């Protein structure tokens, strides 16, 4: 049986199971479909779910094992999602590394299955220290770290503050530095409207196209369920956004980063304008910088195979330095 057909079967089974409940639970059916499909995909890609409690925070993560031996293999890669996202945004990108690397993809505090508590800390420094303790508990000493958006800011902060634990640092459409040309999101925020925060599905459908230039297909009932989750989490997201978007010393210390560095940016990014890439490059002139045509804020979701090929070449070179 072909790999493509093998992939489709559990996804179709998940969809069929979900549809069986649709008459009673719409739009919860959308969340069920999404969860079942994500679980099936992650398993097929060699990602296994684990739970590790770090300073009272029950973190949920994906981790890969060697396909043949059942043991962790290769250098570890730590993948960090952005604000309001979760570990699943990395799955189709991570599949290209699970055979030869230990891949670690956590739901950061406040996100995904790790959940939210108002007394947890959501700043970049707090999340970074939590990651160090997570790696300690997993027995991982050094990692290639890659992050998107808020996760890109976090990746840079982690690499600066924990250089002995960093093999390389890759920032994908990262937050944290100025944008010479304000993005659509920044213009809206200047007018008093944060596109991440809304009270209606209409607000979600204005926001969602801003996240990607080429989003993968999802049925409308799945998008409705995601919209409802955003609405229900508005208070939590407000706190997390405010804490995670506080300035850090990345803006003043970035030039001190000594690990091999990669900066990737989608030219059609509507959340963080591509003009910020030049600011990162000026602060980190030794970094490799790649701008992607036709791609928005989440290259690892919009073009996972191409972005993974780019990243594989980068960490391959980083390993020879």
pLDDT (tens digit per residue) in 162-182: 999 999 999 999 999 999 999
Average pLDDT over residues 299-317: 97
Maximum alpha-carbon separation in the chain: 58
Mean pLDDT for all residues in the chain: 91
Identify the band that residue 321 occupies on the pLDDT scale cut at 50, 70 and 90: low
Average pLDDT over residues 54-73: 78
Question: Does the structure show a pLDDT above 80 at 90?
Answer: yes
| Fold designation for 49-318 | Rossmann fold (3.40.50)
Tens digits of residue pLDDT in 266-292: 999 999 999 999 999 999 999 999 999
Question: Domain extents for the chain?
Answer: 1-44, 49-318
Cis peptide before 83 (omega within 30 of 0): no
pLDDT of the residue at 21:
47
Residue 95 and residue 262: Cα distance in Å, rounded?
20
Q: How far is CA 57 from CA 35, 119, 232, 267, in A?
A: 22, 11, 21, 36
Q: Which residues contact 10 (CB under 8 A, 6 or more apart)?
A: 40, 43, 44
Identify the band that residue 319 occupies on the pLDDT scale cut at 50, 70 and 90: low
Q: Is the dihedral of CA 135, 140, 142, 144 positive or negative?
A: negative
Tens digits of residue pLDDT in 13-57: 455 444 454 444 677 788 888 888 899 999 999 999 999 999 999
Question: Does the structure show a pLDDT above 50 at 3?
Answer: no
By C-alpha distance, which of 301, 302, 303, 276 is closest to 289? 276
Question: Does the structure show a pLDDT above 80 at 157?
Answer: yes
pLDDT of the residue at 73:
59
E-strand spans in the chain?
47-54, 57-64, 76-80, 102-106, 143-148, 166-172, 261-266, 288-292
Tens digits of residue pLDDT in 99-135: 999 999 999 999 999 999 999 999 999 999 999 999 9
Q: Is the dihedral of CA 295, 297, 303, 305 positive or negative?
A: positive
**Region at 192 (left for phi over 0; alpha for psi -120 to 50; beta for the rest):** left
Identify the band that residue 310 occupies on the pLDDT scale cut at 50, 70 and 90: very high
Q: Any bridge partners for residue 18, and if so which?
A: none
pTM metric for this prediction? 0.91
pLDDT of the residue at 243:
98
Residue 222 and residue 228: Cα distance in Å, rounded?
10
């Amino acid at each position: 049986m072909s790999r493509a057909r093998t992939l489709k079967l559990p996804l179709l089974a998940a969809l069929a199971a979900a549809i069986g409940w649709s008459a009673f639970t719409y739009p919860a059916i959308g969340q069920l479909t999404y969860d079942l499909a994500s679980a099936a995909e992650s398993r097929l890609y060699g990602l296994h779910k684990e739970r590790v409690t770090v300073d009272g925070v029950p973190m949920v993560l994906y981790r890969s094992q060697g396909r043949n031996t059942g043991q962790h293999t290769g250098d570890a890669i730590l993948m960090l999602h952005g604000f309001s996202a979760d570990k699943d945004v990395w799955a189709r990108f991570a599949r290209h590394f699970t055979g030869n690397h230990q891949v670690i993809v956590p739901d950061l505090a406040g996100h995904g299955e790790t959940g939210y508590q108002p007394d947890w800390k959501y700043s970049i420094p707090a999340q970074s220290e939590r990651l160090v303790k997570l790696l300690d508990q997993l027995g991982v000493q050094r990692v290639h770290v890659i992050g998107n958006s808020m996760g890109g800011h976090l990746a840079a902060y982690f690499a600066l503050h924990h250089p002995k634990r960093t093999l390389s640092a890759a920032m994908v459409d990262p937050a944290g530095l100025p944008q010479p040309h304000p993005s659509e999101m920044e213009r809206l925020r200047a007018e008093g409207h944060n596109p991440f925060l809304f009270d209606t599905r209409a607000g979600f459908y204005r926001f969602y196209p801003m996240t990607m230039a080429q989003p993968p297909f999802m049925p409308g009932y799945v998008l409705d369920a995601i919209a409802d989750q955003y609405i229900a989490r508005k208070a939590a997201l407000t706190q997390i956004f405010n804490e995670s978007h506080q300035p850090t010393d990345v803006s003043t210390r970035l030039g001190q980063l000594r690990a091999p560095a990669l900066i990737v940016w989608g030219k059609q990014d509507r959340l963080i304008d591509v003009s910020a890439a030049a600011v990162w490059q000026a602060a980190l002139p030794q970094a490799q910088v790649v701008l992607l045509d036709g791609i928005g804020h989440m290259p690892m979701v919009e073009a996972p195979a191409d972005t993974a090929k780019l990243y594989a070449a980068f960490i391959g070179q980083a390993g020879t330095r």
